[in-house]
Amino acid sequence: MAARYRASQGSCAAASLREIAERLVIPTGKKKGQHPSAATVMRMLRDHDEKALEASDYG
């Protein structure tokens, strides 16, 4: 899944996945202008954490 997401204005500190998903907007593709699901947000965060861990292991 190579979709990119754009965050709208606001803080996401201590927000639930649903709250985060409501603030995100899909900028391109078939679902342009829609909000991602909570599962997609969770997948994005997990992938980010995995990449950050790999980067710190090799840095």
Percentage with pLDDT > 70 across the chain:
76
Q: If you average pLDDT over residues 8-19, what whole number do you get? A: 70
Return the closest-CA partner of residue 39 out of 26, 52, 20, 54: 20
Task: Note the pLDDT of residue 4.
Answer: 54
Q: What pLDDT is stored for residue 43 in this prediction?
A: 95
Q: Using a cut of 0.85, tell me whether the model's pTM lies above it.
A: no
Residue 50 pLDDT > 90: yes
Label residue 10 by pLDDT band (50, 70, 90): low
Q: Give the count of beta carbons closer than 10 Å to the beta carbon of residue 50.
A: 10
pLDDT of residue 9 exceeding 50? no
